[in-house]
Amino acid sequence: MLRARTVEDKLASLYRAGRIVGGVYLGKGQEALSAAGGVSLQSGDVFAPLIRDMAGRLAFGEPLIDAVRTYLGSRLGPMRGRDGNIHRGDLSRGILPMISHLGAMLSATVGVLFAKRMRGEKGGVGLTCVGDGATSTGSFHEGLNLAAVEKLPLITVVADNGYAYSTPNQRQYACTDLLERAKGYGVEGHGVDGTDPELCLQVVGRAVQRARDGAGPQLVVGRLLRLCGHGEHDDGLYVDEKLRRSTRGRDCLAVMEETMKTRGRGRDWEKWKEEAQREVEEVVAEVSAEPVPDPFEENWRATLTEGATEALPDE
């Protein structure tokens, strides 16, 4: 959580300094729910994060440098400058690189789980994250229904953060709570206060364990608030002030800090914070010196098969 917040604060300032092209999408306020997913997974599991899952990624073991390299377009990053920001993934680590089309990663995660089952591999689970906006897509419906039909161990974590870009919940769905949908899909549902880190860990951990134990797909709905704009280009002024001041608007990191202090571990927290800051500064310095992609050296082929991408007449 702390590392995610620290690196994202740095990315936001790099964006404002003009060092990052394209969008910067932060998980501010969603770290607890996201990290709970990453922590609950094991090596061999598959993780399909969405745009606000820096915390989950780091908790699952994505190297922090992968994030910085992707944002700064380093040629050494997992996407080599071909794709940016939150679209990174590393299939060798079980992290699926998301596409921007919401809900699309559910069925892809199902596909990985399907492959594992066909090969007779047991015990692995897949976890994917979406927001409240994605639950309105056909992809979300098709993917969750498919997981349920196949009884595959898919955990779908919905971060219901009140807004899809600027559109509030009441223009997004008409049920009282997205958790109600679990019954309709025939999957187990778990609701959680997404601002409470320990509760998130407990609830998401339980959902992951249920899936691992063979109880089929799990739907987790965390209620929280996005504490920033949709991207760093957005001031998020449309967020209802009352909601900001409500418990839903609590900052999970502040909650964690408070808990640590109450337990007499305030000094540990400060130490972690400093460590995270140092790590981030070092990584940013390292990546800043790395080569960027060169269009003249780029292999402009979108296919692997010899001859499948044609050379253009001017090449």
Give the whole-angstrom CA distance, residue 27 versus residue 4.
8
Give the nearest distance from C-beta 178 to another protein in angstroms: 19
Which H or E run includes 159? Answer: strand 154-160
Our CA dihedral for 165, 167, 169, 173, rounded to 10 degrees, sits at -110
DSSP per-residue string spanning 62-99: --HHHHHHHHHT-TTSTTTTTS-GGG--BGGGTBPPPP
Q: Print the binding letters for residues 161-200 with another protein: x by CB under 8 A, - otherwise.
A: ----------------------------------------
The verdict on 290 binding another protein (CB under 8 A) reads no
- Mode of pairing for the β-strands spanning 154-160 and 163-164: unpaired
The verdict on 313 binding another protein (CB under 8 A) reads yes
The number of residues making up the chain comes to 315
The verdict on 22 binding another protein (CB under 8 A) reads no
Give the nearest distance from C-beta 227 to another protein in angstroms: 30
Give the whole-angstrom CA distance, residue 244 versus residue 205.
27
The verdict on 127 binding another protein (CB under 8 A) reads no
Residue tagged 């780029």 (tokens): 298
What per-residue string of b and e applies to 23-38 under the rule 16 or more CB within 10 Å gives b?
A: bbbbbbbbbbbbbbbb
The verdict on 87 binding another protein (CB under 8 A) reads yes
Helices (H), the chain: 2-16, 31-40, 54-60, 64-72, 104-118, 138-150, 181-185, 197-212, 241-245, 252-262, 266-288
The verdict on 237 binding another protein (CB under 8 A) reads no
Q: Print the binding letters for residues 292-311 with another protein: x by CB under 8 A, - otherwise.
A: ---------xxxxx-xxxx-
Give the whole-angstrom CA distance, residue 250 versus residue 253.
9
The verdict on 17 binding another protein (CB under 8 A) reads no
Give the whole-angstrom CA distance, residue 62 versus residue 165.
26
Residue type for 161, please?
Answer: N
The verdict on 82 binding another protein (CB under 8 A) reads yes
The verdict on 116 binding another protein (CB under 8 A) reads yes
Give the nearest distance from C-beta 76 to another protein in angstroms: 13
Window contacting another protein (CB under 8 A); options: 23-31, 99-107, 209-217, 226-234: 99-107
Site for another protein in 132-151 (CB under 8 A): 138-139, 142-143, 145-146, 149
Residues 37, 38, 49, 89: which binds another protein (CB under 8 A)? 89
Give the nearest distance from C-beta 45 to another protein in angstroms: 12
Give the nearest distance from C-beta 37 to another protein in angstroms: 18
Binding region for another protein (CB under 8 A): 46, 78-80, 82-83, 87, 89, 91, 96-97, 99-101, 104-116, 118-119, 138-139, 142-143, 145-146, 149, 301-305, 307-310, 313
